[in-house]
Amino acid sequence: MSKQKRKQEFSEIIHHILTSEEFQRRKTFKHHGEETVYDHSLKVAYYAYIWAKWLHLDAEATAIGALLHDFYTTPWMDNPVKAKRIRDMHGFAHPKIAFENTKKYFPEVVNPKVKDIITKHMFPLTPIPPIYLESWLVTFADKYVSLSVFKDVKDLPKYVGINKTKKRK
């Protein structure tokens, strides 16, 4: 399959999600630094989709799960409220929220593989490992894309939402 054909197939798979009003709102969510959730999710989806094609896996479920892996509800980087419990911190809580939103806005794409991709993408931060190879691809693609936007290792805790330590006076 030519590169152009692959790109076309990818955009056909994700078109209805990408162009929906709810997904378009993610253009206003800052995710890592200046990058938006929209841009981040699209990059992760494309990498994971290409890898799934190479490996002859389920590229459609991979692209859809990857596109929706960070489909959480509110822009967490702007949130001044500090989570008190670890399980409520962004890094731990957002996969479940993303899956709830997927069921709400795009129930037609939900299947066990898409669920596994979304809910397990933060592994090993969340302790249950993915079941499907497609889910593993998305965890790798997510980390690969995320790490490329950090200039410094000290920014890493931001990725999981635990960088709220304040300087002592």
- Report DSSP letters for 1-27, one per residue: --HHHHHHHHHHHHHHHHTSHHHHGGG
Given the complex with Fe ion, which of 58 and 70 has the nearer CB atom? 70
Shortest distance, CB of residue 167 to Fe ion, whole angstroms? 27
88: tokens are 């409520």
Shortest distance, CB of residue 121 to Fe ion, whole angstroms? 6
Shortest distance, CB of residue 2 to Fe ion, whole angstroms? 29
* Chain residues in the site for Fe ion (CB under 5 A): 70, 142
Given the complex with Fe ion, which of 59 and 118 has the nearer CB atom? 118
Given the complex with Fe ion, which of 92 and 106 has the nearer CB atom? 92
Kind and range of the H or E run holding 79: none
Helix (H, G, I), strand (E, B) or coil at 73: coil
User: Which residue shows structure tokens 């920014």?
Assistant: 155
User: Which residue shows structure tokens 């798979």?
Assistant: 13
Amino acid in position 33: G
Given the complex with Fe ion, which of 60 and 142 has the nearer CB atom? 142
Shortest distance, CB of residue 48 to Fe ion, whole angstroms? 11
For residue 2, give every residue at least 6 positions away whose Cβ sits within 8 Å of its Cβ, in sequence order, or none. Answer: none
